[in-house]
C-alpha cells in the first residue's frame, strides 16, 4: 500500500515539475543578452516584440505604441524646476545597472526561476495577489470589520467623488523588515474604478519587499493590475500578458538602489500613471526620464473610461502567525510624527484631471485600520505640495 502512495506522490511531483517548466518557458522569453545583477537576479534583454504581453489573444496583431500621444500638462515645467535643485533626495537607479544595460529595441525582464514558482501556493496563483487587498476607507465600507478580514493593513491618503485620469507621487524608498516570508510590505499608488465587489479595476505601482514573490528581502519596483478584484485577471510586473513595456532601461520587479536609511541619506522614486486621451491606454512613467510602457485600454471595464478613486500609501500583510500582531514594518518602520529622515513620506501627490492637467488633489482623506500599529499624517507646503508621512513598526506595546 505504501508503495502505491509513494508512486502517486512521485507522479504528482513529476506532474507539477513539468507544469512549472512549461510555465517558465512561457514566462522566460528568448533573450538577446543576459545580465547578472549583484543581488543574484538574471535580467534578460528580450526583443520588444517577444515580451509576455503578446501572448494575449487580443494583442496578437497589436502595433506597439512607442510613445504616448500626450503627456499630462504641467509635467515638464515641473521636472525642469526639480532638476535645478541640487539639494534634496538623489535620483535612483536599479542594482543590475552596475553590471550592464539592455540594447535599444529590447526590454529588460527579470528571469523567473523554478524556485520562485515553487514558493507559490499553485502555478495558477504565481505572480498574483492572493487576497483582495484594496484599502477601503470607511466611507465606502459600511461595516468596518469587513476591512481587516483579509489580514492586510494600510496607512493611506485618498481622493474620491470625481473622475480621475491619472495620479503622480514621489515615494520615499526604504527596506522594511518582514517578519515571515508569506508577508510583504509595500508603498504605492492605486488607480481604482468600479465597486469593491467582484468588478474592481485597479492599476498599482510602487515599491515592495515580498520574500514569497522574489525569494529575498530586497526593495523592488513593481506594478500590478486587475479588472475583476484580483480574481482571475492581472498580475505583478510582466508575469502575465497585459502591460506592454517599451523602455530598455528599467526592469519591473528589479531591486531599487540606493535606499534611504534612518537619520541619513534619503532617496525617493517618482511614479506617474496617466490615461492617454487619444488612444485611451494607461501609461506609466518612472522618474523624469523613463516612460516605461502602458496597459492597453481593453484590459479594463471601468478604467477604459476613468478612475473614481485614487489612493497613495503603504500596505502590509499581518498574518498574526503567533496570535500576535506582526512585527512587519511599513515604510521605514517608524511612526509619521518622527518626520523627515526617520519616517517614510509620499510627497507631491497629484491627480490628472479631465483636461489632462496635473493638479493638487482636493479634499484628501486618510485611512488606517489600526493607527497604533501603522499611522498616516497629512501635510502641505510649497516645495512638497500635498504630502504625508506614513508607516510604523507593527507590533509594539500599543499594538499587541
Task: Compute the distance between CA of residue 289 and CA of residue 186 in angstroms, rounded to an integer.
Answer: 23
Tell me how crowded residue 384 is: count the other CB atoms within 10 A of its CB: 17
Helix (H, G, I), strand (E, B) or coil at 2: helix
Task: Compute the distance between CA of residue 342 and CA of residue 275 in angstroms, rounded to an integer.
Answer: 34
Tell me, yes or no, if 315 is annotated catalytic: yes
The grid coordinates of residue 149 equal: 478580514
- CB distance 260 to 172 below 8 Å: yes
Q: Which of 315, 320, 337, 338 is catalytic?
A: 315
The grid coordinates of residue 384 equal: 512638497
Helix or strand (DSSP H, E) at 279: none
Helix (H, G, I), strand (E, B) or coil at 129: coil
The grid coordinates of residue 232 equal: 482571475
Task: Compute the distance between CA of residue 16 and CA of residue 205 in angstroms, rounded to an integer.
Answer: 31
Q: In what order do the strands lie in the sheet with 42-47?
A: 33-36, 42-47, 106-110
Most distant CA pair in the chain, distance: 76
Task: Compute the distance between CA of residue 61 and CA of residue 223 in angstroms, rounded to an integer.
Answer: 24
Report residue 95: phi and psi, to 5°.
-60, -40
**Residue corresponding to grid cell 488607480:** 191
C-alpha distance from residue 182 to each of 4, 130, 179 (Å): 33, 11, 9
The grid coordinates of residue 210 equal: 515580498
Q: Which of 86, 114, 204, 354 is catalytic?
A: 204
Tell me, yes or no, if 143 is annotated catalytic: no
Give how far the C-alpha of residue 300 lies from the chain's centroid of Cα atoms, to the nearest Å.
18
Q: Which residues are catalytic?
A: 204, 315
Amino acid at each position: 500500500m505504501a508503495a502505491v502512495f509513494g508512486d502517486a506522490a512521485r507522479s504528482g511531483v513529476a506532474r507539477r515539475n513539468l507544469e512549472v517548466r512549461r510555465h517558465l518557458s512561457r514566462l522566460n522569453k528568448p533573450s538577446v543578452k543576459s545580465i547578472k545583477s549583484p543581488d543574484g537576479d538574471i535580467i534578460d534583454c528580450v526583443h520588444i516584440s517577444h515580451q509576455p504581453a503578446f501572448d494575449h489573444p487580443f494583442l496578437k496583431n497589436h502595433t506597439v505604441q512607442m510613445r504616448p500621444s500626450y503627456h499630462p500638462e504641467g509635467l515638464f515645467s515641473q521636472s525642469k524646476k526639480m532638476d535645478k535643485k541640487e539639494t534634496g533626495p538623489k535620483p535612483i537607479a536599479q542594482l543590475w545597472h552596475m553590471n550592464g544595460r539592455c540594447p535599444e529595441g529590447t526590454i529588460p525582464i527579470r528571469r523567473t526561476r523554478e524556485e520562485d514558482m515553487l514558493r507559490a501556493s499553485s502555478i495558477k496563483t504565481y505572480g498574483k495577489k492572493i487576497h483582495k487587498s484594496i484599502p477601503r476607507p470607511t466611507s465606502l465600507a459600511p461595516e468596518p470589520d469587513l476591512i481587516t478580514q483579509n489580514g492586510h493593513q494600510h496607512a493611506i491618503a485618498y481622493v474620491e467623488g470625481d473622475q480621475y485620469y491619472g495620479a503622480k507621487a514621489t515615494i520615499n524608498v526604504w527596506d522594511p523588515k518582514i517578519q515571515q516570508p508569506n508577508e510583504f510590505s509595500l508603498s504605492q499608488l492605486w488607480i481604482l474604478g468600479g465597486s469593491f465587489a467582484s468588478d474592481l479595476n485597479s492599476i498599482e505601482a510602487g515599491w515592495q519587499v515580498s520574500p514569497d514573490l522574489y525569494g529575498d528581502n530586497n526593495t523592488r519596483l513593481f506594478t500590478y493590475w486587475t479588472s475583476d478584484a484580483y480574481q482571475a485577471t492581472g498580475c505583478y510586473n510582466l508575469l502575465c500578458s497585459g502591460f506592454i513595456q517599451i523602455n530598455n532601461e528599467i526592469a519591473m520587479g528589479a531591486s531599487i538602489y540606493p535606499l534611504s536609511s534612518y537619520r541619513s541619506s534619503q532617496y525617493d522614486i517618482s511614479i506617474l500613471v496617466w490615461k492617454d486621451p487619444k488612444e485611451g491606454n494607461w501609461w506609466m512613467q518612472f522618474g523624469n526620464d523613463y516612460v516605461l510602457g502602458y496597459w492597453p485600454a481593453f484590459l479594463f471595464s471601468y478604467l477604459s473610461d476613468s478612475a473614481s478613486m485614487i489612493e497613495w500609501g503603504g500596505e502590509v500583510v499581518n498574518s498574526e502567525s503567533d496570535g500576535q500582531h506582526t512585527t512587519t514594518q511599513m515604510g521605514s518602520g517608524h511612526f509619521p510624527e518622527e518626520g523627515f529622515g526617520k519616517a517614510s513620506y509620499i510627497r507631491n501627490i497629484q491627480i490628472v484631471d479631465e483636461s489632462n492637467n496635473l493638479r493638487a488633489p482636493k479634499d484628501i482623506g486618510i485611512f488606517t485600520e489600526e493607527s497604533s500599529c501603522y499611522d498616516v499624517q497629512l501635510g502641505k507646503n510649497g516645495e512638497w505640495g500635498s504630502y504625508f508621512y506614513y508607516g510604523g513598526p507593527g507590533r509594539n506595546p500599543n499594538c499587541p
